[in-house]
Amino acid sequence: MRISGGEGRGRTLKTPKHKGLRPTSDKVREALFSILGARVEDAPFLELYAGTGAVGIEALSRGAGRAVFVDSSPNAVRLIRENLDALGYRERGYVIGKDVLVFLRSTAYELGPFEIVFVDPPYHEGMGEKTMAALGEAPSDDSPDFLVPGSVVVYEHYKKHPAPESFGRLAKKKDYAYGDTALSVYILP
């Protein structure tokens, strides 16, 4: 797995040596950053279900101001930290070893706000819909907003399970398909 663009272009990332991770393919990552374009520059980036951290690290390579990686797996957390260290991005990369839904409801506002969020949950466990619903919830007094108006949320999912037109306050802009993978792009008005 290699970084496809930016200052780290061509650099290799460590891949998982344990079961349970399905890294976003190079092709899909390239397409994602083509979709995001110049928005990435200086943007605070959040990668949920980060796995190897490849997407957030690619964002850092392409000029994101900082990236926060969230994954509950200790193996994934260790792998992300190793990849950040190997590429010299540790100062701009923050790794959180926590359940994604717990993070969104308790910690995200402390590390935000975020302008770009990438959501890549396990495809067949129903976590995608729950996570997108949590992202689409309006902020409350107990948990201030961690998204800014115009934030982009990209949801990677299995193509045969189409994503709805909205998740609360998030409105779908467009779907993109790459083999069995779909990227659904949502915007916070």
User: For the segment 36-58, what is each residue's pLDDT rounded down to a tens digit?
Assistant: 999 999 999 999 999 999 999 99
Q: Report the pLDDT averaged over residues 66-70.
A: 98
CA 63 – CA 116 distance, rounded (Å):
13
Q: What is the pTM of this model?
A: 0.92
**What pLDDT, on a 0 to 100 scale, did the predictor assign at position 6?**
72
Task: Report the pLDDT value the prediction gives residue 15, as an integer from 0 to 100.
Answer: 76
- Per-residue pLDDT reduced to its tens digit, 178-189: 999 999 999 999
What is the per-residue pLDDT for 10?
Answer: 62
For the chain, the three-class secondary structure string (H helix, E strand, C coil) is CECCCCCCCCCECCCCCCCCCCCCCHHHHHHHHHHHHHHHCCCEEEEECCCCCHHHHHHHHCCCCEEEEEECCHHHHHHHHHHHHHHCCCCCEEEEECCHHHHHHHCHHHHCCEEEEEECCCCCCCHHHHHHHHHHCCCCCCCCCCEEEEEEEEEEEECCCCCCCEECCEEEEEEEEECCEEEEEEECC
Task: Domains for the chain: give ranges and CATH numbers.
Answer: 30-178 (3.40.50.150)
44, 112 contact by CB (below 8 A): yes
